Copies of this chain bind each other. A is one copy, B any other.
Amino acid sequence: MAGKQINRSLLKKDAPIGVFDSGVGGLTVAREIIRQIPNEKIIYFGDTARVPYGSKSKETVTRFSEQIVRFLRTFQVKTIVVACNTASACALDALERDIDIPIIDVVKPGAKAAWEATRNGRIGVIGTEATIGSQIYTKYIQNLNRDITIYGKACPLFVPLVEEGLLEDPVTDEIARRYLTELIDIDIDTLILGCTHYPLIRSTLGRIMGEGVRLVNPAYETARELKEMLGQLDLLDEEPLGLGSNRYQFYVSDKAEKFVHFANSIIKYGILSAKAVNIEEY
């Protein structure tokens, strides 16, 4: 991790983990964290007033991300997970420069897993315009091995299709076929799902790519890396919470009710409420 020195005195074992995304996509990351380290507390923020980030500029996504980190730090979080590929691609450098607690993004773990998975050295990445345009996956993977070739493809309609709930639908199939054809033609053997919405259409993507292509879900890899890092820093929460304790708290910048509905369909934990905050004030 580059950037500022970590201030160990700020880090308490029983503090929550801060997780954020432009909206609901980061819930696929929260879900993996809950599965892999169920004792941890989570403060989740979804920027539903300004979603989506994927079509916006690096400067704007960075400004939004900085506001969210300031908000999350009011909860004395022990670490921050940037659970959004676009924010990881656009804002991580700026966030790391200024922060004195550990911060984990979704791109590095996904890049590493894809590098480990490929046999033929040809990896595809799908994501938003901003993520693909940043070439961030290419940079990380070629840092690991310069001989690997990475093919990026922006898939801007996947997020609205997922948000509309068309997870298994002929229209999603048709759009996916258009986006993926060129990746099939160049014979990749590994495909990174470079947007936290995409695991929700994983079966469609898998069917179109065929059995020979391994799909990498950075959400899973991120939770694994988070667990490892917390272990190394002796920061894993050891005290299982009692029933009824407020282990997971959800905040959004707009439409709390709609968020709760969507969140319950992903996490299946019985999320009762989300609070709306005016993030522009942070």
Contacting pair A254 B161 (CB below 8 A): no
The dominant DSSP class at the A interface is loop
Task: Check: A138 CB closer than 8 A to any chain B CB.
Answer: no
A250 to chain B, nearest CB (A): 16
Task: Check: A48 CB closer than 8 A to any chain B CB.
Answer: yes
* Stretch in A49-57, A101-109, A220-228, A240-248 with 4+ CB within 8 Å of B: A49-57
In the complex, A49 Cα to B59 Cα: how many Å? 10
> Would A254 and B157 be within 8 Å (CB), given that A49-B50, A50-B49 are in contact?
no
Contacting pair A56 B60 (CB below 8 A): no
Within 8 A of B (CB), among A123-170: 156-157, 160-161, 163-164, 170
Contacting pair B156 A164 (CB below 8 A): yes
- For A164, list chain B residues within 8 Å (CB): 156-157
Task: Check: A233 CB closer than 8 A to any chain B CB.
Answer: no
Contacting pair B171 A160 (CB below 8 A): no
- For A157, list chain B residues within 8 Å (CB): 160-161, 164
Within 8 A of B (CB), among A24-74: 48-51, 55-57, 59-60, 63
Task: Check: A174 CB closer than 8 A to any chain B CB.
Answer: yes
- For A171, list chain B residues within 8 Å (CB): 171, 174-175
A87 to chain B, nearest CB (A): 14
Return the contact of A280 from the options B253, B254, B280 (Cβ within 8 A): B280
Instruction: Give the number of chain A interface residues (Cβ < 8 Å).
Output: 25
In the complex, A170 Cα to B170 Cα: how many Å? 12
Contacting pair B49 A254 (CB below 8 A): no
In the complex, A58 Cα to B282 Cα: how many Å? 21
Nearest chain B residue, comparing its CB with the CB of A170? B174
Task: Check: A8 CB closer than 8 A to any chain B CB.
Answer: no
Name, among A60, A164, A174, the residue most crowded by chain B CB atoms within 10 Å (CB to CB): A60
Return the contact of A50 from the options B50, B57, B174, B255 (Cβ within 8 A): B50
A82 to chain B, nearest CB (A): 19
Kindly supply a per-residue 1/0 record for chain A positions 195-218, scoring 1 wherever the CB is within 8 Å of any chain B CB and 0 otherwise: 000000000000000000000000
Contacting pair B280 A60 (CB below 8 A): no
In the complex, A237 Cα to B90 Cα: how many Å? 45
Contacting pair B174 A60 (CB below 8 A): no
List, sorted by A's number, 17 A–B pairs whose CB atoms are closer than 8 Å: A49-B50, A49-B60, A55-B163, A56-B254, A56-B255, A59-B254, A60-B254, A60-B255, A156-B160, A156-B163, A156-B164, A157-B160, A157-B161, A157-B164, A170-B174, A171-B175, A280-B280
